[in-house]
Structure 1
Amino acid sequence: MNAGKNTYRQLEHAALNWDENSLPISSEFDDVYFSKASGLDETRYVFLQHNRLPERWESFDFSQGTPFVIAETGFGTGLNFLCAWQAFLQHAPADARLHFISVEKFPLTQEDLKKSLSIWPELKALADQLIEVYPLPIPGVHRRHFACASGSAGRIQLTLLQGDASELFSQLEAKVDAWFLDGFAPAKNPEMWTPELFQAIRRLSDHGTTVATFTAAGIVRNGLKAAGFDIKKTKGFGRKRHMVCGELILQDGQPVQAPPAPDAPIIEPLALATPWQDIPWFKPPNQLSTAANHQIDGETDLTKTVAQIATKAAKSCAIIGAGIAGSTTAQALARQGINVTLIEQNSQPGQAGSGNRQGVLYIKLGTEPSPHSRFYLAGFEFSRHYLQQNVSDELWQASGVLQLATSEKEHKRQQSFLERNQFPEQLLQGVSAEQASELSGTKLEHSGLYFPNAGWARPALLCQQFSQHDNIQLLTDTFVDKLEHNEQGWKLLDKQGEIITQADQVVIACAASAKHFEQTQWLPTKSIRGQTTYLQTNEQTPKLNTVVCHEGYIAPAIDDQLCLGASFNLRDEETELRDSDQQHNLDLLADAMPDYHQALQASDTDLETLNGKVGFRCASPDYAPLAGPAPVYDSFLERYERLRHDATRIPDAEPEYYPNLYLNIGHGSRGLASAPLCAEVLTGYIGNNPQPLERELLNALQPSRFIIRGMIRGRL
C-alpha cells in the first residue's frame, strides 16, 4: 500500500506490555506512551502550554473559515489529539475549526486503544468517537470528522497518516500552525528523527509556526535549528530536566534567528524541499509564484500573483450539478463556513447519473497498488465512515458485498491478488463458493472476494440530504450556460445572458456536461449509458443478505423492489428504457447466479414488466475522477510544448489555471467510493485545508494530467 511497492501490506500493530498501573509500554521500543506521573498533565504542559495554544486560539483569525492546524509525530494512543480537542472546545470561539494531523507507523489495535484511553474518564466522550472511526492498519492518509459537544459535525478534523513519518510528511500538502514532536525518545527510536523529517517540517511551516517537544536531545534541537526554528531549552515536565520549544520567524521568506553562542556548533541549514521540480505541471494554485497570465474578459491581468488569487479567502462558491459529486462538495464546503450556491438543472438533486434507487459502495483493486487503486482504497474507507456518521440506516446499509469470480480469468486474478497481498479481514477476505453462498443467503457457484463493511446506499436521497445546510442555497430547474470571470469573481449566466449568481469560486460537478463550458471544452471524458432493472418482489421472492457483484450486480431488496444492473453502452444517448437492456441484465444474473434466477422464476416474481432507470456515467480515459483546478488548455500546450519532443527535459514553467475554477467529475459507476473523498480534496484547494491524500494521489486526480499525457504520447 506504500508508494513504490508492488504489493499491498497492512501495517504491523504496536506490540504492547502493560505495567502494574495498566499503562501501555511499547515492546518494540521499550518506552512508555505517556508519563506515568500524569500523561494528561504532561501533554498540557509540553504541547499546549509551550505552543501557547489557549491564548493563540482566543486571538486567532478564524473569521475566514481557516482552521487552526496542529501536526504531530507519533499518534500512539491519541491522547495528545483528545487533549487538544478538549482544550479547543474550552478556549476557541464556538464556530472555530481545529485540524489535527498525526502520523503513526505502528498503530494500536482498536482494543488496545480503548484500554489505553479508559485511564482518562474525563476524555471518554471524545475517546468514544475516536474509537468508533479508528482506521484499519492500512498505510496512507485517513481523514475523519468529529462532532463537538454541541453536535456540530465537522468542527474537529483528524488526518491520520499511517506509515513512515518522513515519507508521509514529505507527501503531505498543508500549512501547520503548531507542531507536537512526540513519539518515542530519540535514543529509543532514532530512525524517525531524520533530516528528511525536519525538511518536511520546515516545508509545512510558515511564519509564526511553533514547535514543542518533550525531548531536549541534540538530534532534535539541531534538526529544528537546521530547519530554521528559533529554539530554546526550558524546564521539562515532572522529573524531566529539559524540554525544547521554538518558533519559525521569517523575514522576506527567510528564517530569522538569534546569533548562536560563540562556542555553539555550526548548524548547516536544511535545503528546502522542491517537491514540484520534476512535475511542475501539477503544482497547486496556492503555491504558484509567477504573475497570473490568465485572460479576464479578454484582457490580461498581471496585477496579482496566481498564489495571491488562489489563497484569497473563499467566502462564496457556486457548484454546478447536484449529483453525488456536487452535493458532497457543497456539504463539505458549507461545513467550513463557505456560502454555497448549488445549481441543478433538474427539479431536484440526484436525478441524473446519481439517480438510481440503489448504488453499491465497493471497490475493485488492482493486483498491484497503483495510484488509482490506492485512491479508491482511501476513498472506500473514507466513504464508509462518512456514511456511517452522517446518514440513517434507511439510506445506507453495510450489508457486505461479494465480488464473484465468474470467469477463469477473474478467478486466477483474484487468487493472485490474495497470494501477493495482505489486507485486514475487516476490509476484505477471500471466500469459497460455499462461504459466498452462506454469506449471501443463496446458492452460488463461484468463489470471490468479500467486503464485510461495504454495502448499498440510496444515492438520489443522499444527494438530497447533502444539499441541505444553512450555508447552502439550492437552485433547481436552472441551467448554467456560460461562465465569465472578472476581478470580482465569477458570473454564472443562463441562456439569455442573465446572471444566475456570482461567486468567488466555482466547482463544475455536472459530469459529462462539463464540456459545455468554453473553459473546459477540451475535457476527454465520455458518457456511458447504463440501464438498471427494478423487479417487484412478493412474499415468495428469495431474499439476499448481501450485494452480489459479477459482470453486473444485484442488491438486497428495498421497498419491495430488487435493483439489478447495469448495462454499459458507449456512444448511446437513448434515454428511454428498452427491453433489450432489461433482458441483458437478467441474462447477466442468470449466468452468474443461476440458482437465484431460477428461484426468482419459481416465486412468480415479475421478470417481464419493464421498470428501471436510464443514467449516464461520466468516465475519464483512465477511469479515475478529475478533481482539482481547471487548467488553461492552450497555455499548457504552450508552456510544456517541449514534452512533445523529449519527455525527459522538464520545462521550467509553472502551470496556468483559471482562477478559482475547479472540477469534480468523472466518477463513473464508483461515485459512492470516490466523490466524498474528492469533496475533501476540493476543500483543500478552496478552503486551504490540509489535503486528505498523498501528493502522488492528488496528482493522479489532476484534470491537467490528460493534457500532459497527451503531449508526451504525441496525441496533442
Structure 2
Amino acid sequence: MPANPRFGDVYRSKGEQGDAGLVQARHVFLRGCSLLAEGKHAAWADAPSWQVLETGFGLGLNFLATWHAWRADPARPKRLFYSAVEAWPPEANDILRSAAPFNELMPLAQELASQWRGLLPGVHRLEFEGGRLQLTLAVGEVQPMLAELTGQFDSIYIDGFSPALNPDMWSLHTLKAVARLARRGACAASWCVAGEVRERLITCGFSVERVPGLPPKRHALRAKFEPRWQPRLRAQALAIPLPTIDSPLRCTVIGGGLAGASCAYSLAQRGWQVTVLDRAPEPAAGASGLPAGVVAPHVSPDDRPLSRLSRAGARATLKRVQLLAREGVDFALTGVLERHAPGERRLPTPWLDANNSKVSRATTHAAGDRLTLEKAQQASVPLNDTQLALWHDHAGWIKPAALVRTMLASSGITWRGSQAADRLESANAGVWRVLDSAGAVLTESELVVIAAGFDTRALLCDPGKPLPSPCMHCAGK
C-alpha cells in the first residue's frame, strides 16, 4: 500500500489496491471531468489541444490514466498539455512499483520513469508521444508553484493528502490560484467532499455538486468554473504583455540558426504556418554552424536561474535530437565530463542525486567514481586529489547544423535565405510586416519571432526606426 511518511497518509487506501485504484482514478477524475468516451464523445473530442491541471501529482496514477484514455480515444485532441504540482517527487522506482498492478499503464509508467530525473525545485517539461503529450511538472509547494504556471485549463484534478494532514493543499488561497488558471466552463473533480472545501470552491466561482463515489469512498466532488463575475486574465497582471492570438495563424521567424529553427519547429508542430528569414543563403550560417557542440547543464551550488534554464534546455535539446537526428552521426549520448578548478566548492548532494551525476576525486573508489575516473582517463584528463570532476550521464554532443536543417525541413515551415530583414512595421488587424532595407515587404504575419543573434538589437532598438509600441528591451524591461 503506497504511503507517504512525511504526511502520515496513503496515496491509495486499502480498498483501492489492485485494479481498484485505477478504477477510482477514472471514476473520480476522468469521469468527473467528462474525459472518458463512454457511448458518447468525451469533452476533449476533436479539440486541437486540451489542458489538464493537477494540484498534487503524487505517484502519477492520474497522469498515467489520463494518458491512457487520451491514447485510446479516436477523437482525442491533437495535443495534450498536462501540468501538475508536486512538492516531494517520488523516485522513478516508486512510480514503477505504484503502476505495477495496472498492466495497461505499465508501458506508460516505464516511459515516464525513463525521463524522471533532475527534478529539483522549479518547473520541468517532459515530452511524450513525439511531443504531442507534454507534462509540465512544477516541483515545490503548491501555492508558489501554481503562480509559476500559465494557461487556461480545461480540466482540473484537485488532489492531495487529506485536508487534516495537508491543509495548504485545500486552503482558500490555493483554490483561488486554481481558479485563476481555469477557463470559464472548465470542469474540476476531487475525491474530497469536505464542507469547507466545497464552500471555498463556491467562493472562487465554481458550482459544486456531490456525486456517488465508489467504495470505499461514499462520495466524489464535481465542479464547474462559472463565476458570476468576469475573471481577470492572468496575463493582465503580468509586467510583460502576452500575445492574445486565439488560434494558430502565420508566424515569421527572423534568424535561421538553432534558436530560430527550434521556435519554427515548435510552432509548426502546433499548427502554425511559419516563414523563416535569414540574411545568409543557407541555414545555420552563424554560430550554429560549428562542427559539433556539447550539450550538458550548467551547475552551481545554489542552482541559480542559469542552471535551471540550461538543465531544461539540455533535456529538451537531447529529446528533440533523439526524435529527429541520426544517433552516432548527428549526435551521441556519450555523457560529459566537467572538470572543476582546484578548491572549487563541491556541489550539494541533492543536485547530484537529482541529476544522476557523480563527483569524483582520483583517489576515491565508489562504483560511480570509478566510472568517472575511467572516463577521465579515456579522455586523457588528469585528476588528482585536489582536482574535482563532475560526470553528466544524461549529456552528449550534437551537430547543431544538421539539427537545424532537419527542423527547417518540417511540414509547415518555409525557408527563405538571402532575405535580410531591416525593420518591422505594424499593419492593420494585428498583422506585422517585415521589410528589407529598400522598404519591400518580405512577409506579413500575426506573430514575429526575432532570433537573429547580434542583429537582434539593431532590428529592435534602432532609434531611427523604432517599433510602433515600445519593445521590452528599449523600455528597460
Name the TM-score, length of structure 2 as normaliser.
0.86
**Aligned with residue 115 of structure 1, among 97, 116, 139:** 97
Quick one: distance in 1 between partners of 2:405 and 2:206? 48
Query: Taking structure 1 as reference, are residues 164 and 391 closer, same or farther at Cα in structure 2, changes over 3 Å only?
Result: farther
Match of 1:602 in 2: none
Tell me the residue number matched to 2:382. Answer: 444
- Separation in structure 1 between the aligned mates of residue 389 and residue 43 of structure 2, nearest angstrom: 56
Question: What aligned pairs does 1:473-512 form with structure 2 within 5 A after superposition?
Answer: 473-488=414-429, 489-512=431-454
Query: CA–CA distance in 2 between the matches of 1:62 and 1:337?
Result: 14
CA–CA separation in structure 1 for the residues paired with 2:261 and 2:215? 51
Residue 366 of structure 2 is matched in structure 1 by none
Which amino acid in structure 2 is aligned with residue 99 of structure 1? F
The answer to whether the Cα contact below 8 Å between 2:150 and 2:234 also exists between their aligned partners in 1 is: no
Aligned position for 1:423? 352
State the percentage of identical aligned residues.
27
Contact 1:432–1:448 (Cα < 8 Å) also in 2: yes
Q: Quick one: which of 400, 419, 422 aligns to 1:459?
A: 400
Matched residues in 2 for 1:450 and 1:375: separation?
19
TM-superposed CA distance for 1:365, in Å, is: 3.1
C-alpha displacement of 1:326? 0.5
Equivalent position SS for 2:105:
helix
Q: Is the 8 A contact 2:424 2:467 kept in 1?
A: no
Q: 2:33 aligns with which of 51, 55, 65?
A: 51
Q: 1:469 maps to which residue?
A: 410
Quick check: 1:234–1:245 contact (8 Å CA) kept in 2?
A: yes
The residue type paired with residue 469 of structure 1 is S
CA–CA separation in structure 2 for the residues paired with 1:336 and 1:428: 34
Deviation at 1:275, TM superposition (A): 9.4
Cα gap change, 1:273 to 1:370, in 2 (>3 Å): farther
Would you say the 8 A contact 2:206–2:227 is kept in 1? no
How far is 1:76 from its partner? 2.1
Rate the CA distance shift 1:483–1:276 in 2: closer, same or farther, 3 A.
closer
What is the RMSD of the two structures over their aligned residues, measured on CA atoms? 2.9
Q: What is the CA–CA distance in structure 2 between the aligned matches of 1:514 and 1:212, rounded to whole Å? A: 46
User: Contact 1:327–1:463 at 8 Å: present in 2 too?
Assistant: yes
Within 1, Cα distance between the matches of 2:113 and 2:409? 28
Match of 1:686 in 2: none
Partner residue in 2 for 1:358: 292
Within-5 A mapping of 1:526-541: none
**Residue 193, structure 1, aligned to residue 170, structure 2:** yes
- Say which of 242, 248, 265 aligns to 1:285: 242
Distance in 2 separating the partners of 1:477 and 1:336? 27
- TM-score, reference length from structure 1: 0.59
Query: Could you list the per-position Cα deviations for residues 503-550 of structure 1 after superposition, in whole angstroms to 9, with x for gaps in the alignment?
Result: 111111111112342x4337xxxxxxxxxxxxxxxxxxxxxxxxxxxx
| Larger-gyration structure (1/2) | 1
Mapped pair 1:33 → 2:15: no
How many Å separate the matches in 1 of 2:202 and 2:278?
A: 53
1:411 is matched with which residue?
Answer: 342
The one-letter amino acid of 2:145's match is L
Check 1:338–1:635 CA distance in 2 against 1; reply closer, same or farther (3 A cut).
closer
Where does 1:47-86 land on structure 2 (aligned, <5 Å)?
A: 47-54=29-36, 65=48, 67-86=49-68
Write the letter of the residue equivalent to 1:449: L
1:478 to 1:363, Cα distance in 2 relative to 1, 3 A: same
Residue 94 of structure 1 deviates from its aligned partner by: 5.7
Post-superposition Cα deviations, 1:375-402, rounded to whole Å, max 9, x if no partner, equal: 2233333334444444331222222222
Q: Secondary structure at 1:363's aligned position in 2? A: coil
Is this contact kept in 1: 2:324–2:406, CA < 8 A? no
State the AA in 2 paired with 1:483.
L
1:652 is aligned to none
Question: Is residue 348 from structure 1 mapped to residue 330 from structure 2 by the alignment?
Answer: no
* Offset of residue 633 of structure 1: 7.6
Task: Structure 2: give runs of 5+ residues left out of the alignment.
Answer: 364-368
Task: Give the corresponding residue for 2:197.
Answer: 220
Q: Deviation of residue 244 (structure 1)?
A: 1.2
User: Which structure 1 segments of 5+ residues have no match?
Assistant: 1-18, 148-152, 255-271, 287-309, 523-631, 637-656, 658-702, 710-716
Matches within 5 A, 1:359-374: 359-374=293-308
The reply to whether residue 124 of structure 1 matches residue 106 of structure 2 is yes
Determine the structure 2 residue equivalent to 1:654. none
| 1:222 CA displacement | 2.5
| SS of residue paired to 1:365 | coil
SS in 1 for 2:476: helix
